[in-house]
Amino acid sequence: MRTVRLALAFVVLAGVALMAQGRGGGAPAPPLNLPADTPRITALKNEALAEVDKLKDFTQQMVDQIFSYGELGFQEVETHKYLVALLRQNGFTVEEGVAGIPTAFMASWGSGKPVIALGSDIDGIPQASQKPGVAYRDPIVEGAPGHGEGHNSGQAVNITAAIVLKKIMEREKMPGTIRIWPGTAEELVGTKAYFVRAGLFKDVDVALFTHVGNNLSVSWGAGGGTALVSVEYTFEGETAHSAGAPWRGRSALDAVELMNVGWNYRREHLPLEHRSHYVIRNGGDQPNVVPRNASVWYYFRDITYPRLKELWAIGDQIAEGAAKMANVKLLPTRVLGSAWPRHFNRAIAQVTHDNIRQVGMPTWSEDDLTLARALQKELGARETGLATQVSGLGQPVTDNRGGGSDDIGDISWNVPTVTLSFPSNIPGLPGHNWANAVAMATPIAHKGATAGAKVQAMTLVDIVTKPELVTAAWDYFNNVQTRTQKYEPLIRPQDQPAIDLNREVMSRYREEMRKYYFDPTRYKTYLEQLGIKYPMIKR
């Protein structure tokens, strides 16, 4: 009985895809004065690079396994089970169900300082089921969710890097703690503010986040994109016979529709950088019964925290007005997710970028390039193939025009954080779409994840061998980033993680999807299991 309607024609990307937009505004700032690599550190980094290469099949298996699960936010049950078992096998202690979220965990290895928290998202996108390595729409299971953002690849980057560093730290008897955690339900910006509220980052020195992209890159300062609050408005009226006694009914659906009309009129007078969109989650039961309950789910986005709060207040006001017009009650609103704007740490970004330059882009095969160009052609995008040069160090965004959001923002305002973008996907894609899944269990994704793991492993070496780096990171965090702006959560004391989201849709598809879970005991790759001759393109 759910009617779903998209408010806007344009697709808004979560994650870093749009971060490059609006960046710049003048010459890059001169680099910070950070400690150089000693010969010992250089040797450890070279060792880490070689070890990550040796683990490339292990990395590939993780990427393929999570791809095959294709689970939506808060329902990452198989992904969770798989990662927890894998981390335990590799010597990590894992606490499950952290922050009251069944598919969230915190894994830990080592002891003492520094404490480094490695995170990456794990959830998929509705309707994005897609055969990997096929350059046109061809779902594995029609209508099912899939990894149409590429969140199947980031845990592989972090886990490979962590295992390599753990081996080095054990041999060298280095103090330090490595934590690994999932960005559960990132597509709903549903969990990271709760992780912060639960104190999971209280003793963390540095957070290294990683997200799929189409290049190896990192940035510092204010990121692009928006802060977000996700709010459900539910109205309550009274049923009546829609034909026999409509004057006795009070329609909650009327309030939903009036709220949307009101919002769309108001949109003309909102800041250009804002974004807002909604779906109707409940539009009533059947036409001959006046709808007693109806609800609409809004994403409000704006580029700063104060402006987002203003936008949210306008939404609340319009909802109250709509309730009055329809003569129904507005029930207490439910916050289903939230994200602060992103702000990344200068010192950590700088060393990460130095490592990026050493690692460089993967070597793409003719097959990789053929797939990329064929997909770009299929979508009417520029046929640029794959990126071959690493990006420069991203500078603070000074002319932010809005865009997607990521709740890593909340963590970035609590502990020095960077997001490493790694090249597991193809440039020029729409985002949140089947096309963004095409590369994600192919050699493009595998090589991209290995490149990302190399950078991550080298940055871990930097952090455990250079206490001055951690000091510089906190100096920037305390004296630059948070000097005038302090973190205040968007979630209210009464809000709880929306762990019921996606339960219904996931249960509809899970049994059919289960037939296609990757079985690494029988097949080397997921492409092999699906019998796909890489790359498959329209001839």
Tokens encoding 78: 């198989």
Piece of 12-20, 373-381, 487-495, 506-514 that binds Zn ion (CB under 5 A): 12-20
Please compute, for residue 536, the number of CA atoms within 13 A of its CA located in the half-sphere on the CB side: 15
Piece of 37-45, 141-149, 282-290, 492-500 that binds Zn ion (CB under 5 A): 141-149
228: β partners: 301, 339
Among 4, 5, 9, 14, binds Zn ion (CB under 5 A): 14
Residue 158, C-beta contacts closer than 8 angstroms, at least 6 positions apart: 118, 119, 120, 180, 208, 210, 453, 456
Helices (H) and strands (E) in the chain, counts: 14, 13
Does residue 437 belong to the site contacting Zn ion (CB under 5 A)?
Answer: no
Does residue 15 belong to the site contacting Zn ion (CB under 5 A)?
Answer: yes
Does residue 119 belong to the site contacting Zn ion (CB under 5 A)?
Answer: no
Piece of 143-151, 238-246, 269-277, 331-339 that binds Zn ion (CB under 5 A): 143-151
CA–CA gap between residue 534 and residue 515 (Å, rounded) = 21
The residue among 457, 459, 466, 413 whose CA lies nearest residue 113 is: 466
CB closer to Zn ion out of 48 and 229:
229
Q: How many CB atoms lie within 10 A of CB 264?
A: 14
Peptide bond into 39 cis (omega under 30): no
Least separation in angstroms between residue 235's CB and Zn ion is 32
Piece of 14-22, 57-65, 319-327, 413-421 that binds Zn ion (CB under 5 A): 14-22
Size of the site for Zn ion (CB under 5 A): 3
Least separation in angstroms between residue 512's CB and Zn ion is 25
Report the Cα–Cα distance between both ends of the chain, in Å, rounded. Answer: 42
Residue 452, C-beta contacts closer than 8 angstroms, at least 6 positions apart: 153, 154, 157, 210, 216, 420, 422, 423, 424
CA–CA gap between residue 304 and residue 309 (Å, rounded) = 9
Peptide bond into 114 cis (omega under 30): yes
Least separation in angstroms between residue 123's CB and Zn ion is 9
Least separation in angstroms between residue 404's CB and Zn ion is 8
Least separation in angstroms between residue 17's CB and Zn ion is 8
CB closer to Zn ion out of 115 and 228:
228
CA–CA gap between residue 61 and residue 70 (Å, rounded) = 15
Residue nearest to Zn ion (CB): 15
CB closer to Zn ion out of 71 and 149:
149
Three-state SS at 339:
strand
Mark 147-186 with x for binding to Zn ion (rule: CB under 5 A) and - for no binding: --x-------------------------------------
CB closer to Zn ion out of 35 and 428:
428
CB closer to Zn ion out of 149 and 495:
149
CB closer to Zn ion out of 15 and 443:
15
CB closer to Zn ion out of 78 and 406:
406
Residue 309 burial class via C-beta count within 10 angstroms: exposed 0-12, middle 13-18, buried 19 and up: middle
Piece of 6-14, 174-182, 313-321, 523-531 that binds Zn ion (CB under 5 A): 6-14
Piece of 11-19, 137-145, 446-454, 499-507 that binds Zn ion (CB under 5 A): 11-19
Residues forming contacts to Zn ion in the complex (CB under 5 A) are 14-15, 149
